[in-house]
């Protein structure tokens, strides 16, 4: 009987640990930098402490949606760097509509949606590229760089 009780307690513990928590525990962000994912251009910087605090509060309260590891996750068009002084606290994929923002934690495959938009960031109308499309483009870019380096060596 005692062994069954211990086994049940262990099972409950493992199940509870496995469920996980899809909420962010984000603290200490003092600046937000928004970059274009594709060309890496800085689009906008936000340093308004009250705006950042409001966004962080909403992100921390948002219930993240776990995206299946086998799903074809499209890369969002922007990348948001939440920083504290010069240290990056968190990097998320980002997109927004007129009345909500979508943040994607690619490392953990979790999407967060909050009812706040970031200022001076264009709304996106293009379909985001998939991770595979971006990886293919990056591969082609690396091959082109290698070719250019070889050509420079040959010209010297």
Q: Does residue 5 form part of some domain? A: no
For residue 33, how many other CB atoms are within 10 A of its CB? 17
Average pLDDT over all residues of the chain? 79
Q: Does residue 95 form part of some domain? A: yes
Q: Does residue 154 form part of some domain? A: no
Is the pTM here over 0.85, yes or no? Answer: no
Q: What is the CATH number of the domain that holds 50?
A: 2.60.40
Q: Which residue range is the domain that position 34 belongs to?
A: 21-144
Please state the domain count of the chain: 1
Q: Does residue 153 form part of some domain? A: no
Distance, CA of 131 to chain centre: 13
Q: Does residue 60 form part of some domain? A: yes
pLDDT in the model for residue 17: 36
Q: What dihedral angle (degrees, nearest 10) is formed by the CA atoms of 126, 64, 29, 46?
A: 30
Band the pLDDT of 7: cuts 50, 70, 90: very low
Q: Does residue 13 form part of some domain? A: no
For the stretch 128-138, pLDDT in tens is: 556 676 678 77
Q: Does residue 9 form part of some domain? A: no
For residue 112, how many other CB atoms are within 10 A of its CB? 21
Q: Does residue 2 form part of some domain? A: no
Higher-confidence position of 123 and 37: 37
């Amino acid at each position: 009987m005692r062994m069954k009780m211990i086994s049940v307690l262990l099972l409950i513990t493992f199940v509870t640990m496995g469920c996980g928590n899809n909420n962010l525990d984000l603290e200490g962000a003092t600046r937000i930098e928004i970059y274009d994912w594709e060309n890496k251009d800085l689009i906008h910087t936000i340093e308004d402490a009250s705006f950042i605090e409001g966004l962080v509060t909403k992100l921390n309260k948002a219930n993240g949606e776990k995206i299946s590891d086998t799903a074809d996750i499209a890369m969002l068009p922007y990348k948001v760097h939440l920083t504290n002084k010069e240290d990056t606290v968190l990097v998320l994929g980002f997109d927004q509509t007129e009345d909500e923002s979508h943040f994607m934690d690619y490392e953990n495959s979790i999407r967060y949606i909050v009812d706040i938009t970031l200022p001076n960031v264009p709304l996106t109308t293009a379909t985001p590229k998939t991770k595979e499309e971006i990886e293919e483009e990056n591969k082609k870019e690396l091959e082109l760089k290698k070719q250019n380096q070889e050509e420079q060596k040959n010209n010297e």
